[in-house]
């Protein structure tokens, strides 16, 4: 007879490396596995993952507030390794910003209907072709600007500042270079890094918003 721990390890292994399609062929009746999705919006106070941005906005966002986007690996969500993201979302909301934290695979797989990161960004960070975030915090290990999926223009089209957040999700490490804005010290504790990142996200969100308004005024 399989123990609960053993069955849980099997479940997570298949979900991480084989996906739902492969896992469904296994002899396990865990109902949680059937509810897992390839991407979605995570919030620590929600009892579900959102796959509809409007429903998420209705429950967790306030009008006239600027919005911070966060993106991290689906593997971390599957493993339940989301504690630091919960802290980051909480800190961002404390300083009167909306936040949309999404998880995704990096590369897609058309045969298994697995969306890539650029498809995930398009789904949750746009509304009718218009970006709905003012700054993006990337918590993937590698740079979004250096290792891109098929559509190489998806990040440039988003047109918002990108902050490197890998040191927050993994407790240090070497930040990626490139087009990222890196303003945190690797010597600080995780709670301090999270508070710093929240404040800097607010600063860059307002700078982006002000620049967008000025450009709009020039066009009028």
Instruction: Judge if 84 and 16 occupy the same domain.
Output: no
Nearest to 208 by CA among 138, 132, 149, 147: 132
Instruction: Judge if 142 and 215 occupy the same domain.
Output: yes
Give the CATH number of the domain where residue 158 resides: 3.40.50.2300
Whole-number pLDDT of residue 151: 52
As a whole number of angstroms, the distance between CA 188 and CA 149 comes to 32
Lowest mean pLDDT among 48-57, 125-134, 158-167: 158-167
Rounded average pLDDT over 83-96 = 97
> Whole-model pTM?
0.75
Residue 211: other Cβ atoms inside 10 A:
11
- The residue assigned the tokens 């493993």 is 79
Instruction: Judge if 124 and 182 occupy the same domain.
Output: yes
Instruction: Judge if 51 and 12 occupy the same domain.
Output: no
pLDDT at 56 over 70: yes
Instruction: Judge if 1 and 53 occupy the same domain.
Output: no
Q: What angle do CA 210, 214, 216 make, to 5 degrees?
A: 115
Instruction: Judge if 158 and 171 occupy the same domain.
Output: yes
Would you give the distance in Å from CA 56 to the centre of its chain? Answer: 14
Whole-number pLDDT of residue 11: 52
Q: Which residue has the higher pLDDT, 106 or 45?
A: 45
Give the SS3 label for residue 127: strand
Instruction: Judge if 27 and 42 occupy the same domain.
Output: no
Please tell me the total count of domains within the chain. Answer: 2
* CA terminus-to-terminus distance, the chain: 71
As a whole number of angstroms, the distance between CA 73 and CA 41 comes to 12
Lowest mean pLDDT among 18-32, 61-75, 156-170: 18-32
Instruction: Judge if 102 and 18 occupy the same domain.
Output: no
Domain that holds residue 11: 1-36
Instruction: Judge if 46 and 155 occupy the same domain.
Output: yes
The 10s digit of each residue's pLDDT in 157-199 is 889 998 988 877 665 433 333 334 455 555 578 899 999 999 9
As a whole number of angstroms, the distance between CA 208 and CA 66 comes to 10
Instruction: Judge if 53 and 138 occupy the same domain.
Output: yes
Instruction: Judge if 156 and 74 occupy the same domain.
Output: yes
As a whole number of angstroms, the distance between CA 106 and CA 74 comes to 9
As a whole number of angstroms, the distance between CA 102 and CA 115 comes to 13
The 10s digit of each residue's pLDDT in 197-220 is 999 999 999 999 999 886 654 443
Rounded average pLDDT over 76-83 = 93
Whole-number pLDDT of residue 76: 92
Characterize the bridge pairing of strands 67-73 and 98-104: parallel
Instruction: Judge if 25 and 108 occupy the same domain.
Output: no
């Amino acid at each position: 007879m399989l123990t609960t721990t053993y069955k849980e390890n099997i479940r997570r292994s298949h979900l991480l490396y084989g996906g739902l399609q492969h896992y469904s062929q296994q002899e396990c009746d865990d109902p949680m596995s059937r509810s897992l999705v390839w991407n979605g919006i995570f919030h620590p106070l929600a009892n579900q993952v959102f796959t509809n941005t409007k429903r998420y906005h209705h429950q967790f966002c306030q009008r006239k507030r600027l919005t911070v986007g966060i993106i991290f690996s689906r593997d971390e969500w599957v493993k339940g390794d989301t504690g630091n993201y919960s802290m980051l979302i909480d800190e961002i909301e404390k300083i009167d910003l909306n936040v949309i934290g999404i998880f995704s695979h990096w590369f897609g797989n058309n045969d298994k209907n697995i969306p890539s990161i650029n498809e995930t960004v398009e789904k949750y960070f746009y509304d009718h072709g218009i970006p709905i975030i003012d700054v993006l915090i990337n918590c993937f290990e590698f740079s979004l600007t250096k290792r891109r999926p098929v559509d190489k223009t998806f990040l440039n089209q988003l047109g918002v500042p990108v902050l490197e957040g890998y040191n927050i999700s993994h407790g240090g490490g070497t930040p990626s270079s490139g087009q990222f804005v890196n303003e945190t010290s690797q010597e600080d504790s995780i709670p301090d890094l999270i508070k710093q990142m929240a404040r800097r996200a607010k600063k860059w969100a307002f700078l982006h918003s002000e620049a967008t308004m000025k450009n709009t005024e020039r066009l009028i």
